[in-house]
Structure 1
Amino acid sequence: MKYIALFRGINVGGNRKVDMKQLRTLFESLGFSQVSTYINSGNILFESELDTKSVLMKIQNCFHNTFDFEIPTIVKTENEMKKIAKSIPEEWQNDPTQRTDVAYLFPEADSKKIIEELPLKIEFLEIRYIKGAIFWNIKRENVNKSQLAKLISHKLYKSMTIRNVNTARFLAGEKE
């Protein structure tokens, strides 16, 4: 089965550095195949015969023994990633006029109610939930009005890992 692992908070601002080549080698040593990384922010694509729960446990155990910091990880199947990406309206893009992001949710936050709990002014953005993620689109002129920046200091921020729409679509195989 094809999987995508999403790592939260690595290689951001020079902190919690993880070399992508080292990560690929580590995944190969765990018996995963067809291992590749996408950009330096913690996205790895691979294949395994194991189920999702077993894959995640294997990764977490290995990380615990390899790194001196925690690396929160979400593992999704290729089909789950495709379902999320396909639910994003095609016209939602990242361009000079608009911004679209996907927040992949850790299990403890995976609920439609998360939208109500976030410190956002939703009249300035469109936000939607699908199992496993929330995603939003905002006119760039409204980014500050939406209070999107307050998300970083909210308690639920640690229960998600955010990717821009281009990355989300690439990881789902929607863009090559």
Structure 2
Amino acid sequence: MNRYAALLRGIAPSNPNMSNEKLRGVFEQLGFEKVASVLASGNIVFQSADTDVSDLEDRIQQALNAELGIAGGTIIRSDEELQALLASDPFPGLTHGRGTYLIATFLKDRKKVARKLPDQPDPLARVVGYDKPCSAYLAVIDNSEPGKTPDFMAWLEKTHGKNITTRTWLTVQRVVKKMNQ
């Protein structure tokens, strides 16, 4: 069995149709095993014999839309991919906090490869790398100044469209931990 994490876009935990219980129910109806949620923001881990990730993403998204009216987006990464990402230690010496908000932004379309890192699109964001196997930008966001919001996410959407999703580094760590319990 293959272990996967589904990183769902556009989940609002306050919406009753987007509760972890309902999200897990859709995955269980699709026949996946060891379905579990991580936090309340659209992180579902599961096991499946399927190996076609693109097909899994499409099946899950269609079911979420049909069952719960969730039109967001589904991005899947395997346990091996996420473990390798963690092992790469892209944020050496940094800890997640107010001035060093560590994030990973996953692109759904793995064919869109970052040939080079972008010029720093935002003074409050520092892109530290691009992980090709996970198709993810890795960045440090400075949100230490009240009232100053980084424009990094807007830049990502403008550059790569809406088929992306961002998770904090702490969330990525929690997802991998849950996949291996």
TM-score bracket, normalised by the shorter chain, equals: 0.7 to 0.9
Per the TM alignment, residue 78 of structure 1 is displaced from its structure 2 partner at its CA by 0.5
What is the DSSP-based 3-state SS (H/G/I as helix, E as strand, rest coil) of the residue aligned with 1:172? helix
User: Deviation per CA, 1:117-175, whole angstroms, max 9, x where unpaired?
Assistant: 773348x6242101110111245558988x73353364235131111110011212399
Distance in 1 of aligned mates of 2:97 and 2:41: 20
| TM-score for the superposition, normalised by structure 2 | 0.78
CA RMSD of aligned residues (A): 3.2
Aligned length: 173
What is the DSSP-based 3-state SS (H/G/I as helix, E as strand, rest coil) of the residue aligned with 2:114? coil
- Counterpart of 1:135 (choices 109, 133, 138) is 138
| TM-score for the superposition, normalised by structure 1 | 0.80
Which blocks of at least 5 consecutive residues in structure 2 are unaligned?
none
Structure 2 CA distance for partners of 1:143 and 1:151, relative to 1, 3 Å = farther
Distance in 2 of aligned mates of 1:110 and 1:24: 30
Match of 1:10 in 2: 11
Match of 1:59 in 2: 60
Structure 2 CA distance for partners of 1:138 and 1:63, relative to 1, 3 Å = closer
Match of 1:93 in 2: 95
- Counterpart of 1:103 (choices 105, 130, 134) is 105
User: Deviation per CA, 1:3-46, whole angstroms, max 9, x where unpaired?
Assistant: 0000011116x569511101112111111011100011100000
Structure 2 CA distance for partners of 1:118 and 1:47, relative to 1, 3 Å = farther
- The aligned amino acid for 2:164 is M
Match of 1:163 in 2: 167
- The aligned amino acid for 1:95 is G
The answer to whether the Cα contact below 8 Å between 2:26 and 2:64 also exists between their aligned partners in 1 is no
Structure 2 CA distance for partners of 1:75 and 1:16, relative to 1, 3 Å = farther
The answer to whether the Cα contact below 8 Å between 1:118 and 1:151 also exists between their aligned partners in 2 is no
Match of 1:78 in 2: 79
Distance in 2 of aligned mates of 1:152 and 1:67: 27
Distance in 2 of aligned mates of 1:161 and 1:92: 22
Per the TM alignment, residue 96 of structure 1 is displaced from its structure 2 partner at its CA by 4.1
What is the DSSP-based 3-state SS (H/G/I as helix, E as strand, rest coil) of the residue aligned with 2:162? helix
